Amino acid sequence: MSTDRGWMYRKNDDRGALSRTYVRHLEGFLDIAYANEDYVERATTRDGIVFHIRCPCSKCRNEAYREREDVKLHLLKFGFMPDYTIWWGHGETFSLHVYHQDVGQSSNPIVDHNERYFQMVNDHIVHDAMTWEEQTPNPSAQGFYNMLQTIDEPLWDGCKTFSKLGAATSLLHWKAECNVPDTTYNRVLPVFKRMLPEGDKLPCNFYETKKSLKNLALPKQKIDACQCMLFYKHDSGLTHCRVCNESRYKTIGRKKVPNLVLTYLLIVPRLQRLYMSPKTVKEMTWHYDH
């Protein structure tokens, strides 16, 4: 998708009449929005099956789903919502490869490993107000939603390639994939910050990066393990493996630490997270509905 979105906010020409350029590009926007099936809602009415997309006009602000002609009429009447130069409600993400292709720095696009994650985040942020606005989230869910509000906050004023949340997740992905030590991470981030405009929202160290994503984390349980078994439930009091008799612990200095630890993401919070999104909840209830 092109990043030249100036036409979106030039609805009228110099005489105050509706701009032909705006109308032409508007049709292109609708074609692109309807081409992304993951962001098109299908509904059955008396007249048959209709397809809805989020209406990004300044009145609906991506909170209501409407048919193509209704979306077009709203955009002709009210214009686009402010600062919608990245079409996150219609499948576009803050991605590295879009940025690099636009500036022409590389002929090989950089794969954005967080693209599916951003897609999930966008679904949570811009859920259909008609369906969800009357429901009060519990404290855990509310903290999650509050965290996701940062998806719309650019890394600095005017930034069109990264949000604050996008930068944090991309940096942690790089750290994990490249096995970057904490000390190296903390030395590199201040260098990055000096390259950015004043007032940037990039975390200053590893601690602040993790803290910014704290409410996104799922509860986890750590279970001591051996290659043969888990020291869990009725076996939690054992000090040696029942199969190979390997010691559960190793001694480091004066401390005993487990030889192997399994990190388990609890199933109930994982299911609750899937039910927070209107998009994934449809998949979760498919067998019941059909």
Rounding to the nearest 10 degrees, give the CA dihedral for residues 183, 144, 39, 168.
-10
pLDDT at 231 over 70: yes
Q: What percent of the chain has pLDDT over 90?
A: 25
Residue pair 80/65 in contact by the 8 Å Cβ criterion: no
Residue pair 19/13 in contact by the 8 Å Cβ criterion: yes
- Residue 130's pLDDT is 38
What are the backbone angles phi and psi of residue 91, rounded to the nearest 5°? Answer: 110, -10
- Residue 36's pLDDT is 83
Greater confidence, 100 or 119? Answer: 119
- Residue 103's pLDDT is 41
Banded model confidence at residue 100, pLDDT cuts 50, 70, 90: very low
Chain segment 15-60, per-residue pLDDT in tens: 888 888 999 999 989 988 888 888 888 877 777 788 899 999 999 9
- Nearest Cα to Cα of residue 200 among 151, 153, 157, 149: 157
Residue pair 248/237 in contact by the 8 Å Cβ criterion: no
- Residue 246's pLDDT is 92
Chain segment 253-288, per-residue pLDDT in tens: 888 899 999 999 888 888 888 887 777 888 888 888
pLDDT at 80 over 90: yes
Which SS3 state, helix, strand or coil, does residue 179 take?
coil
- Residue 26's pLDDT is 92
**Residues whose CB is less than 8 angstroms from the CB of residue 285 and which lie 6 or more positions away in sequence, other chains included:** none
pLDDT at 107 over 60: no
What is the secondary structure of 123-147 as a DSSP string?
HHHT--HHHHTTPPPPHHHHHHHHH
What are the backbone angles phi and psi of residue 67, rounded to the nearest 5°? Answer: -70, 165
Tell me what the mean pLDDT of segment 103-129 comes to: 44
Query: Residues of 83-106 as b/e, b for ≥16 C-beta within 10 angstroms?
Result: ebebbbbbbbbbbbebbbbeeeee
- CA pair distance 93, 118, nearest whole angstrom: 7
The count of other CB atoms within 10 Å of the CB of residue 164 is: 20
Q: Indicate the DSSP class of residue 247.
A: B
Chain segment 240-258, per-residue pLDDT in tens: 999 999 999 998 888 889 9
CA distances (Å), origin 84, targets 43, 63, 160, 262: 26, 13, 10, 43
pLDDT at 145 over 90: no
